[in-house]
Every structure is written in structure tokens, then in C-alpha cells.
């Protein structure tokens, strides 16, 4: 659940039937190994595992979110670090590909863990702003194409928007 100082109110896991030829990702919800994977990637990249980094990753691994910077800051134990430190660490973790920034079109960026096993996308209801998780990614061929074009450090970002079944019934 997300705090209600913004429009996005809740997240739910939602699996679609597996279409042919589509890579399926590991099942949600997150497992404790998500944090292990993220910390191992930090170590492997010779990046220091500072207390704020560890706490931010642990928090993101324990709940799907995605969370705004303010929400992450308020969920860390008091005195862990200030908002600016959270902001800087999230930027570093995003650069390393361990954290993904989501834009649900309401003016607030939200962050979630992005280890390979947990990469997924979202669908946001345009009316009630509920967020559901799409545990599926079809971007592999696009990323390969970009790499063939000579690009490195290729990432992608995609959220879907629609009107949910409950909102359709309200009409
Ligand atoms: Zn997510
Ligand atoms: Zn809705
Ligand atoms: Zn994807």
C-alpha cells in the first residue's frame, strides 16, 4: 500500500496468460534473494555498501511500492539519513540499474527494485489510479536491436495506462 498523499493508491499482482514467444520473468512477489542480488551487484561493481544504500535496498526489497523519495525517506528508521542523501543514493542505484524509476504521469517519480529476476511493468488506471503489476517484459528484442546499433548500457522504461474493470462498471 502507498500513502494517500498522492493519487496512486494500491498495487496488486496481476499475471497475464503467457503469450507465445514472450520471455516470462520469475514470479512475484519479491523473495529475500532480491536484496542479496542487489548487494552482490554493488560489491561486484566495487561500490561501497553504505548504511543508507543497504537500508534503501532492504526497504525496496521488502515491499513492491513503487515509492516516492519522500515515502522511502519516511520509511527508513529515523535518523538513518536526510532526504538529500536518499535522493543521491537513489540516483546512484538507478545508474547501476539496481533501482528503476517509474513515471505514472502524476508528477511524482516512484522507485522500485530492479534486479533482473524482478523486472516488470505496470498498468495504471486512468480513473482510480490503481496500479497493477504486469509480470512480463517484451523489450528484449528492442534492447538487442539497440545494442546491435552500437549502444551500450541500454535500459528501457514503459508503463501502461487504461481504465480498470471496476471503473468501467461505475459508469
Ligand atoms: Zn513494480
Ligand atoms: Zn480504476
Ligand atoms: Zn521491461
pLDDT of 127 reads 92
> What are the sequence ranges of the domains in the chain?
11-16+27-170
0.95 exceeded by the pTM?
Answer: no
What is the Å distance from ligand 1's center to 21 Cα?
23
The answer to whether 101 and 157 have CB atoms below 8 angstroms apart is yes
What is the Å distance from ligand 3's center to 108 Cα?
20
Residue 64 binned pLDDT confidence (cut-offs 50, 70, 90): confident
CATH of 11-16+27-170, one of 1.10.150.20, 1.10.10.10, 3.40.50.300, 3.30.70.890: 1.10.10.10
Share of the chain above pLDDT 70, in %: 80
What is the Å distance from ligand 2's center to 131 Cα?
9
Ligand closest to Cα of 132 equals 1
Reduced to 3 states (helix: H, G, I; strand: E, B; else coil), residue 9 is: coil
Q: What secondary structure does DSSP assign to 64-133, as a single string?
A: ---B-HHHHHHHSPTTS--HHHHHHHHHHHHHTTSEEEEE-SSS-EEEEE--GGG--EEEEETTT--EEE
What is the Å distance from ligand 2's center to 134 Cα?
16
Ligand closest to Cα of 102 equals 1
What number is the average pLDDT over the span 55-83?
A: 88
What is the Å distance from ligand 1's center to 133 Cα?
6
Amino acid at each position: 500500500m502507498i500513502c494517500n498523499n498522492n493519487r496512486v493508491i494500491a498495487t496488486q499482482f496481476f499475471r497475464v496468460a503467457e503469450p507465445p514467444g514472450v520471455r516470462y520473468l520469475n514470479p512475484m512477489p519479491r523473495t529475500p534473494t532480491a536484496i542479496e542480488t542487489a548487494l552482490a551487484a554493488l560489491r561486484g561493481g566495487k561500490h561501497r555498501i553504505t548504511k543508507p544504500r543497504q537500508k534503501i535496498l532492504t526497504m525496496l526489497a521488502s515491499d513492491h511500492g513503487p515509492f516516492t523519495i519522500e515515502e522511502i525517506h519516511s520509511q527508513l528508521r529515523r535518523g538513518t539519513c536526510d532526504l538529500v542523501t536518499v535522493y543521491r543514493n537513489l540516483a546512484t542505484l538507478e545508474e547501476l540499474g539496481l533501482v528503476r524509476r517509474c513515471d505514472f504521469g502524476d508528477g511524482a517519480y516512484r522507485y522500485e527494485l530492479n534486479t533482473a529476476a524482478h523486472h516488470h511493468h505496470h498498468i495504471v488506471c486512468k480513473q482510480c489510479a490503481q496500479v497493477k503489476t504486469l509480470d512480463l517484459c517484451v523489450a528484449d528484442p528492442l534492447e538487442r536491436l539497440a545494442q546491435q546499433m552500437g549502444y551500450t548500457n541500454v535500459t528501457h522504461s514503459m508503463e501502461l495506462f487504461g481504465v480498470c474493470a471496476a471503473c468501467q462498471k461505475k459508469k
